Amino acid sequence: MKKAILISILLVFILSTPVYAQEQDPWSEVFLPDGSLNPSLIDLGETSEAVDWMTIDLPFGQSIELEANYHRYQTESGNMVVMPSASTLFFMAVNAEESGLADSYESIGNGHANMINVLGRLVGDNLDWNKVQLDHPEYKQPDQFWSAVINGEQDVWSYFSGWSFITQLKDVSLDDAAYRSIYLLYLNGTQTCTNLPGQCSGVVIPLVTTHICPEPTIAIQEAMLVIEKLSPAYPLVIGQDTQLRRGADVEISITIPPVIFTWYEPIYEEREICRSAGASESPNCNTGSGSLVDDGVHDIERIFKECREHVEHLPDAVTSLQANAALDAGSQAWIIGTLGQTHYEAYLHHPSFSLVPGLAPWSGGCAGNGTCTASSLILRIPVEDPGTYLLGMDIRTSGTQFQGVTITYPRQLHQDGLMNVYVTLPAITQ
């Protein structure tokens, strides 16, 4: 009990929030000299959030909340690196203040040059450059205009010459190499994570040294998330599956390795000494400083001996899991359009549905070694419409704690998968 209290006091001291000096170029801890990402970055994964600045207000007080999506990393010193999806980047740029873009340090390289370049590509010819020049002759190049937009000095909405490109932005994949160069840096982002894009999801609380022992370290290993069709190889729609009533099986598995928290406990040796007596103390020993009578008092001195390493495997348990399947827009269009032309009254029966908890529950737990797992097996899903289904899974974790002290915030993780469902169509042969 006494030891636990001591450890807690020590941890509170160790975990007190520091203010980091940014003497070097902060990008130097994000990228190695060869341009690759520094392996010491903590990969916080992808996170999504509904934000006001991406909301479409509808009549009658309704709204459609589009989700902002980011991939985030945390640096050793507590800075945060945020990589927004293409559509998120667009909305961040045109809402620089509200989105927090204005608070970012700058893009890698020449200011926001990369971001301006990408924005130019995303918007393309939909920026009415003639109108911009007419109203603002001070901008000689589109780059100057975009720079003013990002800095919150220029409104852009008056200068679009089309509208549908905004709807199509969300189909630009985050994996598209062209858009991979946009990294936003938030200095000391871990301290102000509630105001960050993506907030505090999975953020590791920064640690400082005791100056006696090495500073504690936290290692987060990437979670393994899988959502996939298990069998059969070619699932058929329910109407053509009447004999076997096989449907499709989808498997979900999540493995979250433990957060490795390594901290060092200073170990002291005690020895008896004779120290100088205070004014109110009665001397009972000789300090050996040359006095012929007792001039000191007996006491115990703590002498630093070593740093004892403690490695904790902290479980980050799954606390919620939801999974859905939705027929993609191309398949929906095919059913209504192409199939509808040859098959009378072809229509969508059930294009989106909940897998978990809709069709099956999930279960999970953590092993003694700190590894947490969760899984669900959704068997014999009676799929009614043929085509490609987008499988999506959202999970939330508990975060990690040690001796009552939070080490990492809860994580929000997302994983996509695909499932093809087939239909056999009669062919007329001559």
Partner 1 sequence: MREIFLSKQNIVYSILLGLLIAIGIIVLQNWTGHVEDSKRTAVADQDAAQQASVAVVQFFQIDAQQGKDEWLHQLCALSTKAGCSLFTENADHLWKNYQQFEINTSAQVIQTQKVAEVDNEQIWTINIHLSAPLPGSNKVDDVAYVLMQHTEDGWKLDRFLFEKEIEVIEQQNMQKKNLQEVGE
Asked whether 314 and 368 are in contact (CB, 8 A), the reply is no
Piece of the chain touching partner 1 by CB under 8 A; list 56-64, 137-145, 234-242, 263-271: 56-64
**Residue 386 within binding range of partner 1, rule CB under 8 A:** no
Q: How far is it, in rounded angstroms, from Cα 103 to Cα 111?
A: 13
**Residue 59 within binding range of partner 1, rule CB under 8 A:** yes
Piece of the chain touching partner 1 by CB under 8 A; list 153-161, 213-221, 313-321, 405-413: 153-161
**Residue 161 within binding range of partner 1, rule CB under 8 A:** yes
Which is nearer to partner 1, 40 or 354 (by Cβ)? 354
Over the window 227 to 266, marking each residue x when it contacts partner 1 by CB under 8 A and - when it does not, the resulting string is: ----------------------------------------
Give me the count of residues in the chain. 430
Which is nearer to partner 1, 36 or 167 (by Cβ)? 167
Piece of the chain touching partner 1 by CB under 8 A; list 6-14, 22-30, 208-216, 327-335: 327-335
Q: How far is it, in rounded angstroms, from Cα 107 to Cα 387?
A: 40
End-to-end CA distance of the chain: 87
Smallest distance, partner 1 to C-beta of residue 93, A: 13
* Angle, CA of 364, 369 and 374, to the nearest 5°: 15
Which is nearer to partner 1, 114 or 332 (by Cβ)? 332
Distances (CA, A) of 349 to 140, 325, 337, 390: 54, 14, 15, 16
Instruction: Give the chain's largest Cα–Cα span.
Output: 126
**Residue 337 within binding range of partner 1, rule CB under 8 A:** yes
Single residue of 21, 23, 34, 58 touching partner 1 by CB under 8 A:
58
**Residue 344 within binding range of partner 1, rule CB under 8 A:** no
| 75: CB partners within 8 A, 6+ apart | 26, 29, 30, 38, 40, 41, 42, 81
Piece of the chain touching partner 1 by CB under 8 A; list 6-14, 160-168, 174-182, 233-241: 160-168
Nearest by Cα to 389 from 178, 259, 248: 248
| 312: CB partners within 8 A, 6+ apart | 260, 261, 262, 263, 402
Single residue of 348, 379, 405, 423 touching partner 1 by CB under 8 A:
348
Asked whether 298 and 284 are in contact (CB, 8 A), the reply is yes
**Residue 269 within binding range of partner 1, rule CB under 8 A:** no
Which is nearer to partner 1, 232 or 337 (by Cβ)? 337
**Residue 307 within binding range of partner 1, rule CB under 8 A:** no
Asked whether 326 and 389 are in contact (CB, 8 A), the reply is yes
**Residue 60 within binding range of partner 1, rule CB under 8 A:** yes
Secondary structure string (H, E, C) spanning 15-42:
CCCCCCCCCCCHHHHCECCCCCECCCCE
Which is nearer to partner 1, 10 or 174 (by Cβ)? 174
Smallest distance, partner 1 to C-beta of residue 144, A: 21
Element (H or E) spanning 65, and its range?
Answer: strand 63-74
Asked whether 47 and 205 are in contact (CB, 8 A), the reply is no
Smallest distance, partner 1 to C-beta of residue 247, A: 17
Q: How many residues bind partner 1, per CB under 8 A?
A: 41
Piece of the chain touching partner 1 by CB under 8 A; list 182-190, 217-225, 331-339, 397-405: 331-339
Q: How far is it, in rounded angstroms, from Cα 252 to Cα 254?
A: 7
Six token digits for residue 52: 């006001």
Q: What is the DSSP letter of 89?
A: H
Single residue of 29, 38, 170, 187 touching partner 1 by CB under 8 A:
170
Distances (CA, A) of 165 to 50, 63, 151: 21, 20, 23
**Residue 388 within binding range of partner 1, rule CB under 8 A:** no
Single residue of 10, 41, 66, 219 touching partner 1 by CB under 8 A:
66
Q: How far is it, in rounded angstroms, from Cα 41 to Cα 101?
A: 21
Piece of the chain touching partner 1 by CB under 8 A; list 24-32, 270-278, 284-292, 325-333: 325-333
Single residue of 158, 291, 401, 424 touching partner 1 by CB under 8 A:
158
**Residue 171 within binding range of partner 1, rule CB under 8 A:** yes
Over the window 84 to 113, marking each residue x when it contacts partner 1 by CB under 8 A and - when it does not, the resulting string is: ----------x-------------------
Residues forming the site for partner 1 (CB under 8 A) = 50, 56-67, 94, 157-158, 160-164, 166-168, 170-171, 326, 328-330, 332-333, 336-337, 347-353
